[in-house]
Amino acid sequence: MSSMKLEKRESNMSVKTVKRLAIIAIFVALSAVGALIKIPSPVGTIGLDSAPGFFTALAFGGLEGVIVIALGHLLTAAVVGFPLSIPIHLFIALQMALWALSYRFVQRKFGLIAAVAVGILLNGVVSSFTMMLMGGLGAVLSVMPFLVLGSAINVILAALAYRGLKGSRLI
């Protein structure tokens, strides 16, 4: 390969990398803002931090969405002092990353409405069972309505934003 082609290829790769990092940074910042908007709940870590992560997964890619949603959860937990402990919140961040990937996958295979349903089910219902570790079934049932509500708001906001911007030059 000639040196000119190699330089052009390296330049394109660096531009893509910078663009990717900028997208991640912008949406992590939006997650930080969302982390400050809380849905009152027994655990205090349910907020509007995951909508940017779900949106990013749809609009820009799975890896970007994983990073944004996991960091978004950790920011939300940090704002209230990691009430479930740092290891539990790291586990929840990992769950959130899997849910963002699932949201993207289902949207690609079955459409946006199916993705919304799966996102709410995974993030609202399945994630509630993390509370089993701290307080048994009572803790699961006490947090589930709040988590389903928060999940619905985040997942639907992400879907509406994606639908509104899909096909635009922005994504």
- How many C-beta atoms surround the C-beta of residue 62 within 10 A? 18
Judged against a pLDDT cut of 80, whether residue 1 lies above it is answered with no
Structure tokens at 106: 């289902």
Domain locations along the chain: 3-165
DSSP state at residue 125: I
- Sign (positive or negative) of CA dihedral 67, 73, 76, 80: negative
**Region 77-99: what's the mean pLDDT?**
93
**Region 49-68: what's the mean pLDDT?**
96
Quote the CA–CA distance of 113 and 93 in Å, as a whole number.
24
Predicted local distance difference test score (pLDDT) of residue 30: 96
Quote the CA–CA distance of 99 and 150 in Å, as a whole number.
14
Task: Report whether 152 contacts 112 (CB < 8 A).
Answer: no
Write out pLDDT tens, residues 124-162.
Answer: 999 999 888 888 999 899 999 999 999 999 999 999 999
Predicted local distance difference test score (pLDDT) of residue 73: 92
Structure tokens at 14: 């660096």
pTM of the model: 0.88
Q: Which CATH number fits domain 3-165: 3.30.420.40, 1.20.1600.10, 3.40.190.10, 1.10.1760.20?
A: 1.10.1760.20
Please state, rounded to an integer, the average pLDDT across all residues of the chain.
90
Judged against a pLDDT cut of 90, whether residue 171 lies above it is answered with no
Least confident of 34-38, 99-103, 130-134, 163-167: 130-134
